Structure 1
Amino acid sequence: MDPASGRFVANAIDDTGGLHRVSGLAAVMVPLPVPNRRLMPGDIVAAEDLTEMRLPQARLGPYAVVEPEAVIGMQVRRMLPEGRPVMVQSVMQPLVIDRGDEVTITFSDGAMRLSAPGRALSDAHRGQDVRIVNTSSNTTLTGTAVAEGIVEVSR
């Protein structure tokens, strides 16, 4: 067998002892999640949006998602057509802060906790740095998006 092409040749013996040469193409089939409907940018992928399809491994690109867990709960970055493999770069962690959102700025140091109103200057995923404006003092800060509408600032 040629592992690169999947072509094989074998000798088979039938019930009467006759020798037959058999050749063919072997293909490893890989199960992968594909959308069962068109998903548009901004949509959050749910388990019911996916179905399993089996494709030959040779047809999969290096960036095709093969585990449903890697897609479920992600936000669609580029339109995902129905029945086509999902590429890693087509989905992202969901945004918890959108540019222009009103946010709560928090700061903690030991037992002291402070909070102030603010406005986001850019989009952010959970754990990502985001620039914000403290609307009370009109000061620009950089903090970490910790939850929907909450930015934590450290020293």
Structure 2
Amino acid sequence: MMFRRKNAIAAGAVRMALAMPLAVALLAGAATPVFAGAGTAVVPTRTIYPGEEIGAGAVEEVDVTNPNLSGEYARQSAEVVGMVAKRTLLPGRTIPPSALREAYAVTRGQTVRLTFSIGTMTISAQGAPLENAAVGDIVKVRNVDSGVTVSGTVMADKTVKVMAK
């Protein structure tokens, strides 16, 4: 087993869990227990499918008890809550950052507000994104009135700030 549920450990079990590896580590000549500093990992409590937004109830933080666990994985719930799964995440398995993406702020075909600013002048129009995009992504958008396709950056308020050519 690679993990230990944080809230399921009784005080006696903690003492027993700490005593055994400590004794083995001391007999082997190590100055500190083998698992010291392993920290926590975030694992799903249920199967999370691709495209599904991860909620707080879908994951839990567990203590890492396997000192050989390597690679990148989420260590705090805040790293994954609100993100979207790119692939299926299985219960009890660590969540690599490469399996997550930001939630889309604009989706293909929805109506968004286009803004273009130069100096003190601001021009605004309606547009339809040609692809899905998250905040900060550059997206192509078709101006609903003129039919012209422009590129712009998706802003936090779900508007698209058009770039000058």
Structure 2: gaps of 5 or more residues: 1-23
The residue that corresponds to 2:68 in the other structure is 58
Post-superposition Cα deviations, 1:89-132, rounded to whole Å, max 9, x if no partner, equal 11111111122222221122344332211111112110110011
Matched, 1:153 2:162: yes
The residue that corresponds to 1:4 in the other structure is none
SS at match of 2:78: helix
Higher helix share: 2
The residue that corresponds to 1:68 in the other structure is 77
Deviation of 1:148 after TM superposition, in Å, equals 5.8
Structure 1: gaps of 5 or more residues: 1-7, 11-21
Higher strand share: 1
The residue that corresponds to 1:31 in the other structure is 40
AA at the equivalent of 1:71? V
Q: TM-score, normalised by structure 1?
A: 0.76
The residue that corresponds to 1:126 in the other structure is 135
Matched, 1:86 2:95: yes
Percent identity, aligned pairs only, is 28
With over 3 angstroms needed to count, the CA separation of the structure-2 counterparts of 1:102 and 1:9, relative to structure 1, is closer
1:86 & 1:9 partners in 2: Cα distance? 29
1:81 & 1:119 partners in 2: Cα distance? 36
Deviation of 1:154 after TM superposition, in Å, equals 3.1
Q: TM-score, normalised by structure 2?
A: 0.72
Contact 2:113 2:126 in 1 (8 A): yes
Contact 1:101 1:149 in 2 (8 A): no
Alignment RMSD (CA, Å) = 2.2
**Number of residue pairs aligned between Structure 1 and Structure 2:** 136
